[in-house]
Structure 1
Amino acid sequence: MAGKVMQAIRFEGYGGRVADLKHAEVPVPGPKKDEVLLKLEATSLNPVDWKIMKGVLRPILPRKFPYIPGTDVAGEVVEVGPGVKSVGVGDKVVAMLSHATGGGLAEFAVAQESLTVKRPPEVSAAEGAALPVAGLTAHQALTKSAGIKLDGSGKTTNVLITAASGGVGHYAVQLAKLGNTHVTATCGARNIDFVKSLGADEVLDYKTPDGVALNSPSGKKYDAVIHCATGIPWSTFEPNLSERGKVIDITPNATAMLTFALKKLTLSKKQLVPLLMIPKRENLEYLVGLVKEGKLKTVVDSKHPLSNAEDAWSKSIDGHATGKIIVEP
C-alpha cells in the first residue's frame, strides 16, 4: 500500500467541536513489527474520543496533531507487519486501536496484533466495531470490580446500572444477566421498554423521584453499581448500598477520586471504585464469541458515512444515543 492515499477525518489541534473536524487526504499507514493494516468497514465512537479532543485528558493522554480520532474498528487485514502470527491477509477482524495514535475515522488503520481478534461471519462489522471500549469496560466493571461470575455461578448479586441504554450500559445489563444477578437499571422514559428487553429486572426513569433517589422498586440494596452516568453524588448512592456495596465509576472525575480516597482512608465498608479499563485480547475474543452465539447483542443507534462523520460526532457529544454510533467508510 506504499504511496497510496486515503480519506480521513482529523483534528489539527485541541477543540473537539464538530466545526474542528477536517476532511483530509493522507497517506495510507504501513504496519510495523507486530502490527496489521486494516481496510476499515466500521468504526464506533465513544465519549472518550471527543473528551480527548476537548483536552479533558490532556495531562495524562497528550495528543500529537494532526490526529485522526476513533479506536474501535472492524475491517479486513490487507497487510501484516513482521512477527504477526495470529491473523493473516484476508481475515475479517475486530480491533482496538491505541488512544495515543487513534486512526479510526479513515479508510485504513494500523492495529496492534495484541488487540486484534478474528471476527466470525455471524458478527457484522458494525456489531464488532461497537465492542472494544464499551464492551470491555462493562466486562471489566462486572467481572473484576464487582466480582460477578458470568457463568451464572456465585451468590446472587443485586446490581444497579445507571444510563443503561447507552454504549457501556446496554452491554452491562446483558452481561450482568449472564451471572446470578438481579439488575435494576436507570434510563430515560423513552428507553424503558428497550432496557427491559435487554434483560433488566426493574427499570427506573432517571427523572422521576424514585429515579433521582435510585430507589429499587423492590426495595433491594445494591451490592454493586455500574455507574455509567454523570452528576450523581456519593450521598445519593450511599443509602442504597448493601453493607459492603461498591459504586464502580466508569468516568471518575476529581470529586469521585476524592471520595475514593476518603472511603479508603476511613476504612469504609462501602467503597467508590474508579475504573481504568485495561483492554485484554482474551476478553475481546470472549465478547465477540458471545455475539456470535447470540448471547450478547450490539444495539446500533445510527450509522453514518465517513463523508458525513460530523453527524456521528455531534450525536456522540449530545449524549443521548441508544446503543452505539457507527461510522462506515
Structure 2
Amino acid sequence: MQYVEIPVPSLKKGEVLIKVEAASINPADCRIQKGLLRPFVPQFPFIPVTDVAGEIVEVGSAVQEFKVGDKVVSKLIFWKAGGLAEYVAASESITVPLPAGVSSADAAGLPVAGLTALQAVKAIGTKFDGTGVGSNILITAASGGIGSYAVQLAKLGNHNVTATCGARNLELVADMGADEALDYKTPEGAALKNSSGKKYDYIVNTTNGGKWSAFKPSLSSHGRVVDVAPNFGNFVASILTLFSKKKLSTVILSLGMEDLRFLL
C-alpha cells in the first residue's frame, strides 16, 4: 500500500460525500489487498475498507434523508470500497445517521462485524422484545469483532452463552456477558465442553478454522451450527446436512440498514 493523491469523488444521484473521520479494517479487506478475492474485485490499485463514519460535506441529487453537516456511518460496497480515503461517496441507501453520543470511532467498527453478528444471532431465532425462548448456545472466537458482538446480542436475546477465546481474553468475554468462557487451548475448550456437560442447541462459528466434524459431537439431537466464516469443508457440510437432524448453515452478510439502525 502507498499514499497517493486522487480527486475527491463526484457524486451520482442518491449519493452523499462523507469526510471520513474513522474507518475499521476487517479480515475481508486484508484478503482483498492480498489478491485472494480476485476476480471478484476490481483491478489494483484499489482503495480498501468498507466501514466508515464521518460528516457529510455534500449531498447529491435525490437525497432525501441527509444534509450537509450530518454525522453518519456507512457500509460501502466491497468491490468499490474507498474507506481509507479522506472523502468517499456513499449511497444514501447504505448510510445511517449517528445518534447523539455515538462517536465516529465507535460507529465505524459496527457495519461488517456488528451486522454479521446480528444476522447470525437472528438466524437462530433470537428475539429482542422479550418474547423469545432462550437456547443453550456456543459462540467461537468470542473476543474477535464478530464474536464480541454476538455474545452481547445473544445475551440480549436471553440465551445461555458459552464462549471460546484465548486465555488472556477470558475475563473480557465474561464481562461482555458470557455465562461461561472457555480457553480454546485447554482440553475442555478444544472439545467445546461447558461445565454443565449440556449439548448446544446452536453453535455460532465466527472463526475460519472451525470444522463441522468438531462441532457435530457438541450439538443436541436437533442442533445447528451457524457459520459466518465458512471454509470449503463447511460449505460442503451445509449441503450434506440439509436433511439431517443436526445441520450446518452459513450466513452471508446482507446490507440491512434497519439492522444497522438497531445496533446504533
Query: Normalising TM by the smaller chain, what interval?
Result: over 0.9
Aligned equivalents of 2:174, 2:255: Cα separation in 1: 28
User: Residue 203 of structure 1: SS of its match in structure 2?
Assistant: strand
5+ residue gaps, structure 1, are 1-20, 289-329
Whether the 8 Å CA contact 2:204–2:226 is kept in 1: the answer is yes
Equivalent position to 2:258, from 235, 258, 282: 282
The answer on whether the counterparts of 2:208 and 2:231 sit within 8 Å (CA) in structure 1 is no
Paired letter, 2:213: S
Give the deviation of 1:232 after TM superposition. Answer: 2.6
Matched, 1:105 2:106: no
Instruction: Report the secondary structure of 2:4's partner residue.
Output: strand
- 1:186 aligns with 164
1:240 aligns with 2:218: yes
Structure 2: runs of 5+ lacking an equivalent: none
Count of residues paired in the alignment: 264
Aligned mates of 1:232, 1:99 — CA distance in 2: 25
Q: Deviations over 1:257-314 (max 9, x none)?
A: 11111112xx1011111111101111111111xxxxxxxxxxxxxxxxxxxxxxxxxx
Q: How does 1:1-329 map to 2 (within 5 A)?
A: 21-59=1-39, 61-143=40-122, 145-264=123-242, 267-288=243-264
Q: Percent identity?
A: 54
271-280 or 147-156, which deviates more: 147-156
Q: Which whole-Å CA distance do the structure 1 matches of 2:37 and 2:223 have between them?
A: 29
- Equivalent pair of 2:94/2:257 in contact (CA under 8 Å): yes
Check whether the contact 1:150–1:176 (CA below 8 A) recurs between aligned residues: no
Shift of 1:54: 2.1
Per-residue deviation, residues 29-63 of structure 1 (Å, max 9, x unmatched): 1221111100011001110111122233224x232
Which residue type is aligned with residue 140 of structure 1?
Q
Structure 2 residue aligned with 1:4: none
Report the Cα distance in structure 1 between the residues aligned to 2:184 and 2:75, rounded to whole angstroms: 32
Question: Aligned equivalents of 2:246 and 2:35: distance in 1?
Answer: 32
Q: Which residue of 2 aligns with 1:297?
A: none
Q: Which runs of 4+ in 1 moved over 4 A?
A: none
Aligned Cα root-mean-square deviation (Å): 1.1
Mapped to 1, the partners of 2:195 and 2:10 lie a distance apart of 55
AA aligned opposite 1:163: A
